[in-house]
C-alpha cells in the first residue's frame, strides 16, 4: 500500500498491518487485540514480515467512521475540546514573562499544533498499555483538553504555578512540579512533551531520566528533542530528520533481541 496521511476504516471493513519489526506472535496478537478494541466492527490482521520497523501504513492516523461519518457524540466532544484548547492557548500565549535567570534555562510555554498532537495521540493508541497520559510542561492544559476528549486519562506537570493553577481551574489534573524532580514517570502508559528546557544539559538530563524511568511497554510522544530515544526503542512514528519529533515505544519486557534500558 502506498503511504497515506489518513487511513479510513469503516465498520464491517478490514485493516491489515504489515509489521517489519521484532515482535513475537504473542505480541502481534496483543497489538491486534488493541486495534480491534479501538476499531469496533473492523477485522484487524497483523502480519509479521521481518525484523525492522513498522510498515508505514501502521504509522498513520486512523479515522474511525460510523455510518459514513464520525460518531456524533465524539464529533461534538472534539469540537468542544478543540475550541476550549484554542481559547486557552490564545489567552496565555505571551502572557507569562520569564525572570531573567530562567530565560537561558527553561523553554517558555508555547502552544503546540493541536492537530499534529492529535495525530500523534492516535498513532500511540494501539501501543499504549493503558490510558494514563502525562504531559510535561503542560502550560494551561490545551493539549490535555484534546487528549481527554479522545479518551485518555490525561494529567500534567507544569513548573509555573500560575499556569498550573489555570489548568486546574479548567478541571484538569495538573500539579506544579520540576520535570527533573518528578518521580512518577514509571506510572505512565504514555508521556508527551514539547521541548521542556532551553538549556541543552538540562534537556539531556530530562531525556535520559525518561528513557531510564519509563516502564517497559510505555510510549513516548515528543517534539524538539535533543536526542532521539535509545536505538532499541520501537519506532511507531519517526519524523526526526525533518521535525525532531516522533512516537516511540520502550521495548516490552522479554522482547526477543532487545534489552530494555
Quote the pTM value. Answer: 0.68
DSSP 214: S
Burial of 233 (C-beta count, 10 Å sphere; 0-12/13-18/19+): buried
Contact 249, 218 (CB under 8 A): yes
> Which pLDDT tens digit goes with each residue over 167-202?
999 999 999 999 999 999 999 999 999 999 888 999
More confident residue, 22 or 257: 22
C-alpha cell read off for 261: 534500558
The whole-number pLDDT of residue 90 equals 78
The whole-number pLDDT of residue 17 equals 60
Average pLDDT over the chain, rounded to an integer: 76
State which H helix or E strand residue 166 sits in: helix 161-169
Q: Which long-range contacts (CB under 8 A, 24 or more apart) does 108-115 make?
A: 109/137, 109/139, 109/140, 109/160, 109/163, 110/194, 111/139, 111/142, 112/142, 112/143, 112/194, 112/223, 114/82, 114/85, 114/86, 114/89, 114/142, 114/143, 114/146
> Which pLDDT tens digit goes with each residue over 17-71?
655 555 566 666 676 676 666 666 666 666 655 444 333 333 333 333 333 444 5
User: 72-249, which class in CATH?
Assistant: alpha beta
Closest CA to 195 of 120, 118, 106: 106
The full set of domain ranges for the chain reads 6-64, 72-249
Sheet strands side by side (includes 153-158): 173-176, 153-158, 132-136, 190-194, 219-223, 245-249, 234-239
Of the pLDDT bands very low, low, confident and very high (cuts 50, 70, 90), residue 80 is confident
Contact 252, 216 (CB under 8 A): yes
Please name the residues in contact with 201: beta carbons below 8 A apart, sequence gap of 6 or more. Answer: none
More confident residue, 105 or 247: 247
Check whether 104 has a pLDDT greater than 60.
Answer: no
Amino acid at each position: 500500500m502506498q503511504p497515506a496521511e489518513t487511513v479510513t476504516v469503516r465498520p464491517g471493513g478490514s485493516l491489515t498491518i504489515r509489521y517489519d519489526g521484532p515482535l513475537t506472535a504473542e505480541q502481534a496478537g496483543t497489538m491486534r487485540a488493541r486495534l480491534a478494541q479501538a476499531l469496533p466492527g473492523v477485522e484487524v490482521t497483523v502480519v509479521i514480515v521481518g525484523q525492522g520497523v513498522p510498515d508505514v501504513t501502521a504509522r498513520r492516523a486512523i479515522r474511525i467512521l460510523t455510518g459514513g461519518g464520525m460518531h456524533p457524540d465524539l464529533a461534538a466532544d472534539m469540537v468542544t475540546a478543540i475550541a476550549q484548547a484554542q481559547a486557552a492557548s490564545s489567552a496565555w500565549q505571551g502572557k507569562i514573562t520569564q525572570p531573567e535567570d530562567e530565560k537561558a534555562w527553561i523553554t517558555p510555554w508555547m502552544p503546540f499544533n493541536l492537530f499534529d498532537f492529535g495525530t500523534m495521540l492516535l498513532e500511540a493508541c494501539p501501543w499504549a498499555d493503558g490510558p494514563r497520559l502525562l504531559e510535561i510542561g503542560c502550560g494551561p492544559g490545551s493539549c490535555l483538553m484534546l487528549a481527554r476528549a479522545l479518551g485518555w486519562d490525561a494529567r500534567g506537570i507544569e513548573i509555573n504555578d500560575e499556569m498550573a493553577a489555570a489548568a486546574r481551574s479548567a478541571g484538569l489534573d495538573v500539579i506544579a512540579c520540576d520535570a527533573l524532580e518528578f518521580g512518577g514517570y514509571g506510572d505512565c502508559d504514555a508521556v508527551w512533551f514539547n521541548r521542556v528546557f532551553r538549556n541543552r544539559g538540562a534537556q539531556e538530563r530530562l531525556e535520559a531520566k525518561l528513557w531510564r524511568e519509563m516502564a517497559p511497554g510505555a510510549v513516548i510522544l515528543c517534539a524538539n528533542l535533543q536526542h532521539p530515544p535509545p536505538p532499541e526503542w520501537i519506532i511507531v512514528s519517526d519524523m526526526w530528520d525533518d521535525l525532531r519529533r516522533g512516537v516511540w515505544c520502550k521495548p516490552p519486557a522479554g522482547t526477543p533481541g532487545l534489552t530494555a534500558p
